[in-house]
Amino acid sequence: MKKVSFIFLLLAAFTINAQEKVKKDSIKADNVLDEVIIKAIRVNSESPVTHSNLSKEDIAKRNLGQDIPVLMNFMPNVVTTSDAGAGVGYTGIRVRGSDATRVNITINGIPYNDAESMGTYWVDLPDFSSSVEDLQLQRGVGTSTNGAGAFGASINLLTDAVAEKPSAVISNSFGSFNTHKHTLKFTTGKLNDHIEVAGRASVIKSDGYVDRASSDLKSYFLQASYVDNNTLIKAIVFGGFEETYQSWFGVTAEDLENDRTKNYYTYDNQVDHYNQDHYQLHWNQKYNNFWSSNIAIHYTWGRGYYEQFKEDEDFDDYGFDEINIGGEIINTTDLIRRKWLDNDFYGTTFSLLYSNNKDFNFTFGGAWNKYEGDHFGEVIWARYASNSEIRDRYYDNYGDKTDFNVFTKANYRLNDKFNLYGDLQIRTVNYKANGVAANDVNDSFTFFNPKAGVTYRANENNSFYTSYARANREPNRTDYENGNPKPETLNDFELGWRLKKDKFNINSNIYYMRYKDQLVLTGELDGVGAPLRSNVGDSYRLGIEIDANFQLGKKFSIQPNLAFSTNKNIDYITPWDGEVVNLGNTNISFSPNFIAGNMFNYMPADKWQITLLSKFVGEQYMGNVDTQSSKLDSYFVNDININYEINPKKIVKSIVFSGLVNNIFNVKYVSNGYYYTYDDTWSVPGETTTLDGTGYYPQATTNFLLGITLGF
């Protein structure tokens, strides 16, 4: 890894040195070059794509240690959850009922979803929100992007922009469950009008709401930039370390009532332990008033394990030979094992943009990415070790995946009223793996993903849009481990209206998402707490989303959002009591029919802001068979966020006091769970506890975080 770091820094230094020898072009940049990094995969307010934005300022108000999904909780049609119950550690997000494996995530245009599982593990990048300039949430298929296709949404993040002036920030926060976060951040500003160096280091620790669901998290971010009127070069290195005590299996219905913070794991080192380092090099170039480009190379190294205590394990599962002790045949043992994942992800992304006075914009872009992952298991202790040696591997598997895509996008302003949008993408995937099925996997896919839309500007206040987008997506590793999965297809139809006035704006849209062979969550979990999916034939999501911002005088504003939907499997066929039955149209798992959020802001003075944040999530099923026992109740939760800033005249330029009280009415609610349709009982791996077929992840009752941020 030292060699990789050296290569990136050497390349950055060489490029900066070369650029200093180039004569400055007299053409001035019309747009911020930082935005070119993600411009190819983002949309603007005139695009026929349903989207919402979250700015750096919005994030900062509640950035006291909780993860990015939790900070996004009040965006339209979003549901978030936390394994440990308080937003620190493993967190998850669903958009339009689609889980995190179906939400495409990019950081500076580079895929972040794990290539094999397609999941997004924000716990590997703790406090990454402190280095985010802004993010855009596109609901539905959205525009063409890099990485796995978006089947519910895509989220693209842009990291910190180049700062003009030097500054430093020290941020500390403390709160319930012994949670504390410490962040140090700096930037040199532009040195000699061209070069900036910036960085961040963070530590977050929490005991968690759930017993022993502790988190020990560390992260860093470092970037070196060169910028002039037409060139931006960024070398970025960031990463994190996490060690979390496992709380993957929730609680039973009985314990939810009597001991809702119970954790069935008791082994003192039942932990998930993982490191992840990212290296990115971006070169943005503006050639003239019309043409600009971006090219990036990247490398991610991830490695780590989770450790488990297991009881009465069969020798055969670990390659042990049975032994004879005093005439007794021994072929089972208690043991401690580690399941390792060591992976490399590298590649390039690129885009070429043409803009003609905003009447015609054209983008050609794409990416080539390669994933190489090793999966192996070690026994580090056994009561009866047979003929094994410490760290003998009882399995040793791999997964290799190559992902290539190219796309073209165009916006054409036909006249003052109509704007046309077109987007074509071809994506190819090759996936090879062993240890996932009876036969090794060697699958290749070629997907064609067309998109088109029209925006009609009725007048200066009202605009309407309609769009169609097609997406295709390959199965992930877990899908292969649990059957013979098919790729899935989505046709997404959107119809929207945007109203903009001086004192308020309203965005509304209707969507119809029709799936073929959708891989929906079954409600079940695998041995490491990962949700299982299966193809369900035909299914759809039909809904309406509304979000608004009303300025009520100088001191008050409200930002409500609503989402009504129906989410159905069509003629759902499933085994039941030993027979295959057709249950008709059933609800898709984890898809509430009603979600609402609101932020009520009160600004008593220029430096004060008090916000009441409200979230309602309707009832939802954890399986696809509509049984009462699989239902999660609706919940309504309210938080209060307070920010106050003072500006001393010496040394410290800004002092910001922040407070966040979550769940102020002490609601006992559940945002996630699991459901086993056919098995009455099952056991937590490595434990003697037997659980029934339904489990729940309780979220924290009233809790708080207090912070102080010093700006220099």
DSSP assignment of 380-446: EEESS-TT--TT-EEEEEEEEEEEEEEEEEEEEE-SSSEEEEEEEEEEEEEEEESSSSSS-EEEEEE
pLDDT for res 680: 41
pLDDT at 22 over 60: no
Q: Which two tokens stand for residue 377?
A: 């298991």
Mean pLDDT within 437-465 = 93
pTM (predicted TM-score)? 0.91
pLDDT for res 677: 60
* Beta-bridge mates of residue 98: 95
By DSSP bridging, strand 78-82 and strand 153-159 are unpaired
pLDDT for res 688: 42
User: Is residue 445 a contact partner of residue 429, using CB atoms and an 8 Å limit?
Assistant: yes
CA atoms of 519 and 521, how far apart (whole Å) = 7
pLDDT at 29 over 70: no
**702 vs 30, which has greater pLDDT?**
702
**464 vs 689, which has greater pLDDT?**
464
pLDDT at 142 over 70: yes
User: Is residue 237 a contact partner of residue 8, using CB atoms and an 8 Å limit?
Assistant: yes
Residue 16 burial class via C-beta count within 10 angstroms: exposed 0-12, middle 13-18, buried 19 and up: middle
Q: How confident is the model at residue 575 (pLDDT cuts 50, 70, 90)?
A: confident
* Beta-bridge mates of residue 636: 616
**536 vs 685, which has greater pLDDT?**
536
User: What pLDDT digit, counting tens, does each position of 367-400 carry?
Assistant: 999 999 999 999 999 999 998 888 889 999 999 9
pLDDT for res 27: 32
CA atoms of 202 and 206, how far apart (whole Å) = 14
pLDDT at 28 over 50: no
DSSP state letter for 603: -
pLDDT for res 2: 42
User: What pLDDT digit, counting tens, does each position of 236-265 carry?
Assistant: 999 999 999 998 888 988 899 999 999 999
Residue with tokens 């180039």, as numbered in its chain: 22
pLDDT at 6 over 60: no
Amino acid (one-letter) located at 580:
V
Q: How confident is the model at residue 498 (pLDDT cuts 50, 70, 90)?
A: very high
CATH class of the region 2-451+460-711? mainly beta
CA atoms of 201 and 165, how far apart (whole Å) = 20
To the nearest whole number, what is the mean pLDDT of the chain?
A: 90
Mean pLDDT within 503-516 = 96
User: What pLDDT digit, counting tens, does each position of 53-67 carry?
Assistant: 999 999 999 999 999
User: What pLDDT digit, counting tens, does each position of 606-657 carry?
Assistant: 899 999 999 999 999 999 999 888 999 999 999 999 999 999 988 899 999 9
Mean pLDDT within 681-704 = 69
pLDDT at 25 over 50: no
Q: How confident is the model at residue 229 (pLDDT cuts 50, 70, 90)?
A: confident
pLDDT for res 162: 93
CA distances 288 to 27, 332, 351, 669, Å, are 7, 72, 16, 56
pLDDT at 408 over 90: yes
pLDDT for res 32: 58
Q: Which residues are CB-neighbours of 306 under 8 A, at least 6 positions away? A: 246, 271, 272, 273, 338, 339, 528
Per-domain boundaries in the chain: 2-451+460-711
pLDDT for res 525: 84
Residue 253 burial class via C-beta count within 10 angstroms: exposed 0-12, middle 13-18, buried 19 and up: middle
pLDDT at 130 over 90: yes
User: What pLDDT digit, counting tens, does each position of 437-448 carry?
Assistant: 777 999 999 999
pLDDT at 279 over 90: yes
First-last CA distance in the chain: 33
Q: How confident is the model at residue 21 (pLDDT cuts 50, 70, 90)?
A: very low
Q: How confident is the model at residue 106 (pLDDT cuts 50, 70, 90)?
A: very high
HEC string of 433-479 equals ECCCCCCCEEEEEEEEEEEEEEEEECCCCEEEEEEEEEEEECCCHHH
pLDDT for res 19: 38
